[in-house]
Chain A
Amino acid sequence: MTTSFGPDAGSTHPRAALMTVAAALCLLAAAGPSGVEPLAMTEVAPGVFVHQGAIAEPAPDNRGDTANMGFIVGDSGVAVIDTGGTPELGRRLREAIAARTDREPVIVINTHMHPDHVFGNAAFADVPIAGHANLRDALAARQDVYRQRLTDELGAGASAGIPRVRVDRPVAGEVRIDLGNRLLVLTAHPTAHTNNDLTVFDRKTGTLFAGDLLFIDHLPVVDGNALGWLSVIDGLERVPAIRAVPGHGPAMVDWPGALDAERRYLTVLVEGVRRVLTAGGSIQEAVAHVVEGERDRWLLFDAYNPRNVTATFAELEWE
């Protein structure tokens, strides 16, 4: 991935860099000398930086780096948007921030509860966390399972130091955050990908951090409500952005055209499940047949399509 430096990326402040190094040394004193390797970032718009995660399930070869994350630099501070799938990725993101600006992180925004987006919060223990009003309860109900999975996938070292769930700024409806000459609009959405999806709109550059309400290339994952998601897409489409940062996929995509593929998949999913329900079929029959035509259009289709069909079947059988 290429790294670009924009005009107001800011230069590394020597003292901030020193302090970061000192902090890193303290943390690692017991383990011996080590540096934290900053994450590769792309500046997708002035002062808007994105790290692109692999389109894959967390595994040793990608070290859990499977979701996009980013940060936005204002005159008075930095907003961090998602922190990656492990505490280590969070530390590397923080190192990347320190390498680009002398402003400090003033807010961490979690776009939703999934572990590949929030476990890096561990590196931001001193920074308030904003999230959807449902985020705290939703993550609290799942965190132990998520942590165990991460241990299974990457080893106990990767999941060490995950802190207990914390949401300091719960968002219901819409909240604005002023980073200094830079206003961010945080919007909490009704149940779609999950029941705690939050988007972040940078008005200055027209950049929308869509979180996992926008999947590109990676098959969309329904952990909420497929019909709800389709209706949230209809609303999101009207956000006056010129580019979006998906939760999974390239660092940036055109808006709103990037929504088309995901909308098509969800529509075919809903229609297919309805057909099986009308015919009196079972979940297993739906899993075997629904949305087969989409298989070649997405990555990770077999990993997530059966689950999407299962969840959507359980949702639609109440219609």
Chain B
Amino acid sequence: MMRYPLMGLLASLLIVLSTPAPAATDAAEDAARWDLLHDMYFKDRPVEEAGGRIRIDAPARAHDAALVPVRVEVEPSLRLKTLSLLVDKNPVPLAATFHFGPASGGGGIETRIRVNEYTNVRAVGETQDGRLLMTEAYVKAAGGCSAPAVKDPQEAMARLGRIKVKLPETPVAGVPATAQVMISHPNSSGLQFDQVSRTYIPAHYVRSIVVRSGGRTVLEAETDISIAEDPNLRFSFVPVEGGTLEVVAHDTKGATFAQTVPLAAGAGKDEPAL
């Protein structure tokens, strides 16, 4: 393959120059990145290791960089005030902050994020007395042709704003139950450069999602561009007899999307499009 010594030498040089840094340097880089994020999002508040009280479940390798499922489990005794999800190496690391209300059934959350490159994903829980507890998982970026971009922008725009709510078939008043909220939205990052107009395509993403059960707040989420297209939340809530689950979302262009679903048996299985 290398017939010319000079070419071979140049090629070897390039290979040496592009070889990834050793693991020790990676760990140092990761620590430096976290220092920066700690300062940016939590200022001088101490952040403790959650040590099993908060667990994060994410695939070791992102199967699809545009859609990486992340589940955060929180020990039931730990009544969290807020939970923040961070993706260290993403352009906007803070993916979401969830504020839990009186109708929350616990601080666990499942959602889907975008992952730009090999990165730590962190969950930081804030207890009622203001302590910050953190846990993390390392996610390798997907290989090959996977990229954190919307697969079909036209389709995404065509169904923009549609909300689907999935409820347990037989919710029991007062007993925490799991619900899933899906909001159809491209969640465009604003980081895509239009090479013809020489401008960035404006960001267009869901910035808040509020969920209420029987009029009381389950959670209020502030969301950003690290959340995958079609924002998708699974959470625990406390059902109310004869009540409803109400979802209201706002996006960065000022649009409001809302859906209210009765908690009757089987409700929400096939919500019509808005």
Task: Give the interface of A toward B (CB within 8 A).
Answer: 31-35, 57-58, 114-116, 134, 136-138, 140-142, 145-146, 148-149, 151-152, 155-157, 164-165, 191, 194-195, 221, 223-225, 280, 282-284, 287, 303-304, 306-307, 309-311, 314, 317-318
Contacts and interface: CB of A to CB of B under 8 A. Distances in A.
Interface in B124-151: 141-151
A191 B149 contact: no
Contact of B69 (A114, A156, A283, A303): A283
B49 interface: no
B128 to A, nearest CB: 29
A45 B44 CA distance: 70
A34 B2 CA distance: 9
A309 B18 CA distance: 33
A156 B14 CA distance: 7
19 contacts: A31-B7, A58-B144, A136-B196, A137-B153, A140-B192, A141-B147, A145-B65, A151-B18, A152-B20, A157-B14, A191-B155, A194-B151, A195-B152, A223-B145, A223-B146, A287-B59, A310-B69, A311-B64, A311-B151
Contacts of B150: 141
A124 B182 CA distance: 44
Contacts of A58: 144
Nearest to A145: B147
A141 B14 contact: no
Interface residues of B, number: 53
Nearest to A225: B152
Contacts of B182: 317-318
A165 B152 CA distance: 18
A55 to B, nearest CB: 13
B67 A310 contact: yes
Given A156-B17, A191-B151, A225-B152, A303 B184 contact: no
A35 to B, nearest CB: 8
A156 B63 CA distance: 25
B145 A157 contact: no
Interface string B83-118: 000000000000000000000000000101000110
A280 to B, nearest CB: 8
A55 B147 CA distance: 21
Given A146-B147, A221-B145, A156 B6 contact: no
Interface string B143-171: 11111111111110001001010100000
A221 B64 CA distance: 11
Contacts of A225: 151-152, 155
A229 B248 CA distance: 34
B7 A34 contact: yes
A282 B69 contact: yes
A115 B154 CA distance: 22
Contact of A32 (B6, B162, B196): B6
B39 interface: no
B11 interface: yes
Contacts of A287: 59, 63
Contact of A156 (B18, B146, B153): B18
B63 A307 contact: yes
Nearest to B194: A140
B148 to A, nearest CB: 7
A138 B153 CA distance: 9
Nearest to B68: A310
A152 B7 CA distance: 21
Contacts of B7: 31-32, 34
Given A282-B110, A311-B67, 10 more contacts: A32-B4, A116-B145, A136-B195, A141-B147, A146-B145, A157-B15, A280-B166, A314-B112, A318-B159, A318-B230
